[in-house]
Structure 1
């Protein structure tokens, strides 16, 4: 089936590696980028690929509400949405919150409320959680706290808020569709893909599931993981991973088969309360 994918943040480093992988699967991609000067770079990614590539010049910073996001979704008409955008340190804390929290949440809500959209995948990061993962040791927890409270405090606040909205609303839609008798593979799947520290190494194997918070993973591997998770039936929830020895495809299949979800240890009721304050 030729899926239509909206890739938000199409000019990012991971997205530029990801785009040809999606097109090679004969999926159609609309790459949403910030400015027209980025367009030639993106268009080259579609050359010689079986899938069709469209480029949409529209800054995520202009998306202030669910309604703004819905206008873009109505224009593109995707059945899958990938969020791989980020302020990347541009514009200081206010821009980080506007992009990584507000725009991300707007697209998350609009996608989940659109019955035609069946998957929403966000590229988050492994320490984006409020509680200590039950499988982390003391050093894992200290590392996560340092990243979240000292190194990237604003980014952490933005990403964890967006992850919580996706987690809660995706579960609500999934459960509601279950009550309606919709088969599991046809229900909405929300995915928070959560890599370790990004590197420029070549694509390789992974360590995936309930793992340490410490470790690198190449952007090329992240791109491969995004494409693989999208094509894997039943993949949903929080998926943590870093560089390792297992092939990406085998790791994703294992995580799905074993029902591993790294959201374990977080409090769904607290998430709901946090969302109510947004």
Structure 2
């Protein structure tokens, strides 16, 4: 199925990988960015740049899209304004626009923010609230929760399961490949899963996830 996908946070490290992968596929892809100065980089990845601010109106950005991949983040800045409220704003706009699929890049530890390091607690609380809001929406959603992100080259292999912060890490490139693979699997609608670097090919690993 060919999708019309909006990548929110397309200029971020994971977002650029996602945008590049989608642009090299049969899908139509637009990269949502906050700064117009980033437009040339998004075009160089093969996507249409869309300038919009998650904390403001995003209706024009979601118009005509059937799928959204949320990879945006505050980078440790305004976690409640971006990671929570910005994500919720985009979910609400997606519902209103009739978007079919919504992929959320979350974080391992979001199911129990108080168990993580103090420095990450606000971030994890914000991610948990965004995840919960998405689950309560009418969108066919998938929530992906990786461990610590690295800039090592991806090799297309992961492991999924029940993990805790500190159990391991995963290259950003493999997280992006997992998000795109999950987008193309309607049987993962409703699923939330954690992932780390592993030795199982991504497609095979995703086959073992129960979305019920």
Whether the TM-score (by the shorter chain) exceeds 0.5 is yes
**Contact preservation (8 Å) 1:196, 1:241:** yes
**Contact preservation (8 Å) 1:209, 1:260:** no
Q: State the shift of 1:84 in Å.
A: 0.6
Residue 9 (structure 2) pairs with residue 15 (structure 1): no
Structure whose residues are more often strand by fraction: 2
Structure whose residues are more often helix by fraction: 1
Q: State the shift of 1:3 in Å.
A: 1.0
Partner secondary structure for residue 109 of structure 1: helix
Runs of 4+ in structure 1 displaced over 4 angstroms? none
Give TM-score, length-normalised by structure 2.
Answer: 0.91
Give TM-score, length-normalised by structure 1.
Answer: 0.70
Match of 1:208 in 2: 160
**Contact preservation (8 Å) 1:101, 1:159:** yes
Match of 1:167 in 2: 135
**Contact preservation (8 Å) 1:195, 1:241:** yes
Match of 1:198 in 2: 149
Match of 2:111 in 1: 129
1:113-146 per-residue CA deviation (whole Å, 9 max, x = no partner) reads 433x111111001110138xxxxxxxxxxxx713
**Contact preservation (8 Å) 2:54, 2:89:** no
1:129-168 correspondence runs (5 A): 129-130=111-112, 145-147=115-117, 150-168=118-136
Number of equivalenced pairs = 209
Structure-2 change in CA distance of 1:211 and 1:156 (3 Å): closer
Match of 2:101 in 1: 119
Structure-2 change in CA distance of 1:223 and 1:198 (3 Å): same
Distance in 2 between the 1:202 and 1:27 partners?
24
Which of 80, 91, 94 matches 1:108? 91
Distance in 1 between the 2:60 and 2:14 partners?
25
Q: State the shift of 1:7 in Å.
A: 0.7
Which of 55, 60, 79 matches 2:66? 79
Root-mean-square deviation (CA, aligned residues, Å) is 1.8
Residue 171 (structure 2) pairs with residue 218 (structure 1): yes
Q: State the shift of 1:260 in Å.
A: 5.2
Q: State the shift of 1:2 in Å.
A: 2.4
Unaligned runs of 5+ in 1: 47-52, 132-143, 174-187, 262-278
Match of 1:36 in 2: 36
Look at both structures and tell me which one has the larger radius of gyration over its CA atoms.
1
